[in-house]
Chain A
Amino acid sequence: MSTIIKTEKLVYTYEGAEAPTLRGLDLEIEEGTFVAVLGHNGSGKSTLAKHLNGILIPTSGRVLVDGMDTAEEQNLLAVRHTVGMVFQNPDNQIVANVVEDDVAFGPENLGIEPREIRRRVDDALTSVQMYEYRNHAPHLLSGGQKQRVAIAGILAMKPRCIVLDEPTAMLDPVGRGEVLDTITRLNRQEGITVILVTHHMEECIGADRLLVMSEGSILMDGSPRELFPRVEEMEAAHLGVPDTTRLMYALNREGYQLPLEAITTEECAQALLRAFGHKE
């Protein structure tokens, strides 16, 4: 598989700040993977996300999107067409008064022909299961629905990669589930590269690859199954582990032999059943 995003010694210092927020990141992201970026507040994860489609430009080092340097002004439109971005607050990224008009905003900016825009808008809204709401006013939708409209707005531009910067932070558990299901499906079925920035461990369970960030560097890089069992290291980065791992970790300290890499609820239940199920 080919590399879609590459960072080379990426350093970023906010204006007026003394210490850099990102301290020389080297990162390669394969096309078609689902990457979760996990980190506590101030770890630099959002700053990293903003570099991936040229909202921020590195203080030093480079960010290459499909080989294009984001620091070059003439690449910016193509970069943003390749990597779409969904933000935390759904209210502040919806532009139009009607759901379908908002989804059309991106393709309209790209200068696509009206009939093709219509088709893309319908496809994108169907894909996030919001088609029947196409004529609604956005402010009457729930948080999860608004966020799915925002995702549709990006999908309609047909990006190869979608970066989501804490898309569930302002949502209730139902809305969070809707958004997660949607992005997982987009990755699995449509092969779109997904980069999910979050501080919820549970949201990382379905990812192919997990990047743990702390103090502007990448602390751990591997699959969630490899990383979550390293409970002590995760806690050292001021992060917890999913409830499933926490439960088995606690049991193991009481002398049981449970597999820490059983991170999904289903796997965890099966492991517990094997360990305790037949000892009545």
Chain B
Amino acid sequence: MLKDITLGQYYPGDTLVHRLDPRTKLILTLIYIAALFTAIVYAGYALVVLFLAVSILLSRIRLRNILSGLKPLIIIVLITGILNLFYTKGEHLLVHFWRISIYWEGVETAIFMALRIMLLIAGTLLLTYTTSPLQLTDGLESLLNPLKKIRVPVHELAMMMSIALRFIPTLIEETDKIMSAQRARGADFETGGLIAKAKAMLPLLIPLFVSAFRRADELATAMESRCYHGGEGRTRMKQLSMARRDWIALAVGVLLLALVILFRRLGI
């Protein structure tokens, strides 16, 4: 059933990683990505991998879940690897046949690039696995707050995002209902080629759109009735608050980046 789809792939839990403020996790993810792209030497890479491994262990997210999240990207990883393998020129020739030559440097770059992409995805997966979509939205709104000064509608964007999240299950339920109704009238959603299937979706999409617009209109009226007048003067019941663990986590993140830069300078 469509209803069983879980959203945002959030795995609820009560570990240290789950309890961190969403802002901390967002900043840590950025630091982690920066460190990942700064690391060009073995020691740097090892440090980044260590950081991710410890985070995963602390979050008690199963490695299997992270690996299954990586699966859709396997082709991109492979292509990147193969291209780097063939196109990197170096000094230590390994194999040479016809017009293709593979160098030792190519093998090295291929492995590093593949690893880099996988680590990048694994890190962001850990963020969405341990932070509910709503917390993420709140965190983003709070972090982007300074942009309000240059007239970026931060509050409105965050509100749109959280309303979208709120209505996804409602609209999925409705899609289910319309599908059943159309099936009862003889509609066929399963058979036929790509174009036939796309055509079959039309009688599903039109009522769904009409109803979505009606819902949007009613919701806007209801929100106005509840004194909604934009972000100005609005307070929040649940305040985000940075605890000591957040500052410690950020300090660890900064240390990670500093060490990776140091290793790069030293060229170890």
Contacts and interface: CB of A to CB of B under 8 A. Distances in A.
A97 B235 contact: no
B169 A114 contact: no
A45 interface: no
Q: Which of B134, B166, B214, B223 lies at the interface centre, i.e. has the most chain A CB atoms within 10 A of its CB? A: B166
Interface of A: 53, 55, 77, 80-81, 84-85, 87, 89, 91-98, 100-101, 104-114, 117-118, 121, 137-139, 153-154, 157
A114 B236 CA distance: 6
Contacts of A109: 226-229, 234
Contacts of B186: none
Contacts of A105: 223, 226, 228
Contacts of A121: 237
A89 B225 contact: no
B215 interface: yes
A139 B227 contact: no
A138 B170 CA distance: 10
Contact of A95 (B166, B221, B233): B166
B235 A87 contact: no
Given A95-B219, A157-B227, 7 more contacts: A87-B222, A92-B222, A95-B223, A101-B134, A104-B237, A106-B226, A109-B226
A95 B223 CA distance: 8
Interface string B194-235: 000000000000000000001100110111111111000111
Contacts of A107: 235, 237
A101 B234 CA distance: 14
Given A111-B235, A117-B235, A139-B173, A153 B218 contact: no
Find the residue from A100, A106, A108, A121 having the highest chain B CB count within 10 A: A108
A181 to B, nearest CB: 23
A157 B235 contact: no
Contacts, number: 93
A108 B228 CA distance: 9
Contact of A108 (B166, B169, B234): B234
11 contacts: A55-B224, A95-B226, A97-B162, A97-B165, A107-B237, A109-B228, A111-B235, A112-B235, A114-B238, A118-B237, A139-B169
A180 B224 CA distance: 25
B166 A84 contact: no
A7 B237 CA distance: 36
A77 B166 CA distance: 25
B135 to A, nearest CB: 10
B163 interface: yes
A92 B237 contact: no
A261 B234 CA distance: 50
B239 interface: yes
A108 B43 CA distance: 49
Contact of A157 (B173, B226, B233): B226
Contact of B218 (A89, A97, A108): A89
B142 to A, nearest CB: 14
Contact of A53 (B134, B170, B225): B225
A97 B168 CA distance: 10
A188 B12 CA distance: 42
Contacts of B223: 95, 105
Q: Which of A53, A92, A106 has the most CB of B within 10 A?
A: A92
